[in-house]
């Protein structure tokens, strides 16, 4: 073979070799590209998984652990404090049926059903030291027929030390058992105790600032300065309508609220609280005669003091709780006359006060209740998360305990109640309630009730 032919043969062999190798090279490049894409997808999946885990942690989803109370608030309202940072969502709801027993229908009461509350909690933890928390409540299923949408509390917390923290905003007053912790799975009975509605007007919130913390790991305290009551809302039945609820609240008179709770052992809690502040808000009541304006009667300062002592003991399945409360209203005689139909300061008919003839704002009111319950399923189904607690509560309320001279005590406001019922939780966050409430007043008829209700928190 000539050199020229030899060169041609070698060139042809090289070309053939390259052509036959192209599919292998192409296949190798495609495999590398596929592996790169898979690696990129795996990295993205890891990033999404990490982000989802972070979001789940910061949102404090309820299934991630049992709800617990923090700083005395309800467990649902306390979720935001367990976050690392970010948004928390929670809430509670309750509805009931109340049937009036037949032999007491002469009282004029009627059976009723009501979806009483649907509540949303929203909180945001900006940092370890700054937390915003609020509750929005929808009442009675509608804004019509006495329904309402309200901000129940909205507080900005500045958390510094265990023993010294600050709070500002629309505050729940730290009085009694239920004003701060009023979620339905955490109290017995379809109805809240009357003492914590008529003497301590739960749910009670006002605008203010305060300090709170824990001393020596056993003593919890709260000290708040808030706007005072509006005495024009006081009634013979109690102080409840004097609340201002943070809505364009008059603040000519402020009030002090303080609370101490001592927990010497985990099972025992004892404590008390006090509210002191004038309620007149520098107001006056107009007086008319024949539709014409005649003059004004000043509302007295009406210094108002409410205090209460409470205790609770829990061990095993046993739960016991007791509370005693009193309220005092200075200038009750002048206040009753100012709100009555015939202000003697002017000696003319046509006063526009809220009281009827003879009615009085009491200078002293009192209430007490005690209850006991026991969880029985622990003996029947030891490993279950369900609970069944029969309970009994005795309650006495007298919002006319002492009335000013010249006024008649309204004995229909002196009421004794005996409530027996069942408190069933299929899971810790959901409750079904059934009870019978026997009530009797010193004067007039008051209906006994059979009550059934549901409640939940998340």
Q: Where are the domains of the chain?
A: 47-88+117-364
Instruction: Evaluate if residue 61 carries a pLDDT over 90.
Output: no
Q: Alpha-carbon distance 268 to 271, whole Å? A: 10
| Among 335, 333, 329, 337, CA closest to 303 | 329
- Full-model pTM: 0.84
Question: What are the start-end ranges of the H helices in 250-365?
Answer: 332-339
Q: In this predicted structure, what is the pLDDT of residue 42?
A: 76
Average pLDDT, the chain: 88
Number of helices (H), then strands (E), in the chain: 3, 18
SS3 277: strand
Residues 6+ apart with CB under 8 A from 449: 98, 99, 100, 101, 436, 437, 439
| Among 286, 194, 195, CA closest to 232 | 286
| Top-confidence residue, 1 or 209 | 209
Q: What is the pLDDT of residues 257-315, one digit of tens each?
A: 999 999 999 999 999 999 999 999 999 887 766 666 777 889 999 999 999 999 999 99
Q: Alpha-carbon distance 292 to 290, whole Å? A: 5
SS3 58: helix
| Among 109, 110, 112, CA closest to 96 | 112
Q: Alpha-carbon distance 367 to 199, whole Å? A: 7
Strands 130-139, 449-457: pairing kind: unpaired
Q: Which of 109-113, 195-199, 415-419, 437-441 has the lowest mean pLDDT?
A: 109-113
Compute the Cα dihedral for 428, 430, 436, 440 and give only its sign: positive
Q: In this predicted structure, what is the pLDDT of residue 257?
A: 98
Q: What is the pLDDT of residues 170-200, one digit of tens each?
A: 999 999 999 999 999 999 999 999 999 999 9
SS3 36: helix
Q: What is the pLDDT of residues 309-348, one digit of tens each?
A: 999 999 999 999 999 999 999 999 999 999 987 555 455 5
Q: In this predicted structure, what is the pLDDT of residue 105?
A: 59
Instruction: Evaluate if residue 25 carries a pLDDT over 50.
Output: no
Q: In this predicted structure, what is the pLDDT of residue 99?
A: 94
- CB contact at 8 A, 239 and 229: yes
Q: What is the DSSP string of 194-236?
A: TIIIIIS-SS-EEEEEEEEEEETTTEEEEEEEEE---GGG-BT
| Among 221, 224, 283, CA closest to 251 | 283
Q: Alpha-carbon distance 151 to 29, whole Å? A: 64
The number of angstroms, rounded, from the C-alpha of 349 to the middle of its chain's C-alpha atoms is 44
When computed from its CA atoms, the radius of gyration of the chain, rounded to whole angstroms, is 33
Q: What is the pLDDT of residues 361-404, one digit of tens each?
A: 999 999 999 999 999 999 999 989 999 999 999 999 999 999 99
**CA-angle at 397, arms to 260 and 449, nearest 5°:** 115
Q: What is the CATH architecture assignment of 47-88+117-364?
A: Beta Barrel (2.40)
| Among 356, 266, 246, CA closest to 315 | 266
Instruction: Evaluate if residue 71 carries a pLDDT over 80.
Output: yes
| Among 339, 346, 349, 338, CA closest to 289 | 349
| Top-confidence residue, 425 or 36 | 425
Encode 277-308: b = buried (16+ Cβ within 10 Å), e = exposed: bbbbbebebebeeeeeeeeebebbbbbbebbb
């Amino acid at each position: 073979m000539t050199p020229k032919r030899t060169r041609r043969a070698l060139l042809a062999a090289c070309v053939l070799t390259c052509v036959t190798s192209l599919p292998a090279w192409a296949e190798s490049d495609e495999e590398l590209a596929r592996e790169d894409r898979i690696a990129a997808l795996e990295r993205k999946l890891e990033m999404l998984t990490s982000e989802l885990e972070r979001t789940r942690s910061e949102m404090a989803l309820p299934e991630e652990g049992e709800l617990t109370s923090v700083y005395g608030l309800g467990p649902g309202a306390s979720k935001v404090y367990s976050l690392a940072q970010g948004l928390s969502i929670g809430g509670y709801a309750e509805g009931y049926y109340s049937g009036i027993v037949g032999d007491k229908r002469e009282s004029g009461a009627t059976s009723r059903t009501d979806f009483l509350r649907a509540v949303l909690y929203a909180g945001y933890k900006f940092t370890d030291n700054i937390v915003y928390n609020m509750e929005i409540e929808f009442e009675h299923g509608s804004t019509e027929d006495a329904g309402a949408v309200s901000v129940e509390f909205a507080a900005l917390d500045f958390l510094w030390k265990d023993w010294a923290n600050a709070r500002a905003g629309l505050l729940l007053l730290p009085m009694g058992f239920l004003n701060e912790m009023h979620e339905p799975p955490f109290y017995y009975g379809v109805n809240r105790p009357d003492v914590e509605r008529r003497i301590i007007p739960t749910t009670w919130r006002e605008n203010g600032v305060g300090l709170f913390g824990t001393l020596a790991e056993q003593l919890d305290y709260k000290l708040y300065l808030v706007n005072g009551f509006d005495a024009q809302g006081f009634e013979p039945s109690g102080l409840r309508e004097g609340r201002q609820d943070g809505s364009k609240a008059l603040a000519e008179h402020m009030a002090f609220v303080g609370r101490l709770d001592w927990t010497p052992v985990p099972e025992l809690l004892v404590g008390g609280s006090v509210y002191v502040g004038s309620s007149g808000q520098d107001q006056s009541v107009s007086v008319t005669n024949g539709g014409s304006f005649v003059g004004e009667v000043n509302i007295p300062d009406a210094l108002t003091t409410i205090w209460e002592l409470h205790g609770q003991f829990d061990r095993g399945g046993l739960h016991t709780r007791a509370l005693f409360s009193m309220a005092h209203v200075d200038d009750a005689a002048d206040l009753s006359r100012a709100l009555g139909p015939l202000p003697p300061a002017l000696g003319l008919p046509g006063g526009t006060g809220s009281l009827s003839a003879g009615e009085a704002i009491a200078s002293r009111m009192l209430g007490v209740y005690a209850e006991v319950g026991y969880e029985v399923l622990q003996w029947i189904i030891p490993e279950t998360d369900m609970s069944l607690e029969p309970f009994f509560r005795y309650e006495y309320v007298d919002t006319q305990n002492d009335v000013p001279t010249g006024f008649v005590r309204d004995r229909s406001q002196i009421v004794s109640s005996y409530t027996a019922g069942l408190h069933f939780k299929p899971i810790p966050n959901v409750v079904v309630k059934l009870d019978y409430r026997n009530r009797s007043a010193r004067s007039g008829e008051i209906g006994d009730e059979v009550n059934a209700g549901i409640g939940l928190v998340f």
